[in-house]
Chains A and B, each alone.
Chain A
Amino acid sequence: QKEVEQDPGPLSVPEGAIVSLNCTYSNSAFQYFMWYRQYSRKGPELLMYTYSSGNKEDGRFTAQVDKSSKYISLFIRDSQPSDSATYLCAMRTGGNTPLVFGKGTRLSVIA
């Protein structure tokens, strides 16, 4: 079993839809949870981060962490064609420890 599982998709939605992206993990020591967006042939760009359980909202993006279920989510409201990218979940146990990534979910938002 991989430490972090993420459905690779691809996921295709119409413009304006609400998108839900998810990851599960097995290591209960993970404390910090991140979502990165990666456009084709580019490096990952940090979108959202959350410490421990709870929700965090930033504009059209909401990140949720449920540590009891070892499950994290990213919601994108009013999705736009410019949101088309690969979304990577990542997590770490603490401090400046290495990031452990999921495989990434490829999202296409169709105009």
Chain B
Amino acid sequence: ETGVTQSPTHLIKTRGQQVTLRCSSQSGHNTVSWYQQALGQGPQFIFQYYREEENGRGNFPPRFSGLQFPNYSSELNVNALELDDSALYLCASSSGTGIYEQYFGPGTRLTVT
């Protein structure tokens, strides 16, 4: 059984650019959630996908968007990057029926200059 993987590990972008982050769910998991963790803060919920449909969104602007694919892998897209978007972006997968078993990937560290 493979765990949650994310790519890339880290990247540097310029303000105004666009970025795509990728996540592969743990085997058998059909729900993916994305979180943003700023330095020194706890993770903040961005949105969740269940069977390719967004079924929950946190307090993030529309320039944060996502996709989930038939194999339950997922993408997070951020347009018009701002300096405050610099953070660790975490992907977590769960079975959709588990009420607590949300497994996190190692994260992608995004730096916006």
Chain B interface: which size bin? 20 to 34
CB distance from B12 to the nearest CB of A (A): 16
**Is B48 a contact of A103 with CB atoms below 8 Å?**
no
Contacts of A88 in B (CB 8 A): 42-43
Q: Which residue of B lies closest to A33 (CB)?
A: B100
Question: Number of contacts between A and B (CB, 8 Å)?
Answer: 68
Contacts of B42 in A (CB 8 A): 4, 6, 88, 90, 101-104
Contacts of B98 in A (CB 8 A): 96
**Is A101 a contact of B99 with CB atoms below 8 Å?**
no
Is A59 on the interface with B (CB-CB < 8 A)? no
Could you say which of B102, B106, B107 contacts A99, with CB atoms under 8 Å apart?
Answer: B102
Could you say which of B44, B50, B101 contacts A46, with CB atoms under 8 Å apart?
Answer: B101
How many angstroms between the C-alpha atoms of A42 and B9 in the bound complex?
10
Question: Known contacts A96-B50, A98-B45, A101-B43; is A34 also within 8 Å of B100 by CB?
Answer: yes
Could you say which of B100, B101, B106 contacts A43, with CB atoms under 8 Å apart?
Answer: B106
Is B16 on the interface with A (CB-CB < 8 A)? no
**Is A98 a contact of B4 with CB atoms below 8 Å?**
no
CB distance from B61 to the nearest CB of A (A): 17
Question: Known contacts A43-B4, A88-B42; is A98 also within 8 Å of B107 by CB?
Answer: no
Q: A92-B100, A101-B42 are in contact. List 7 more A-B contacts (CB 8 A).
A: A41-B106, A43-B92, A43-B106, A46-B101, A46-B103, A99-B102, A103-B41
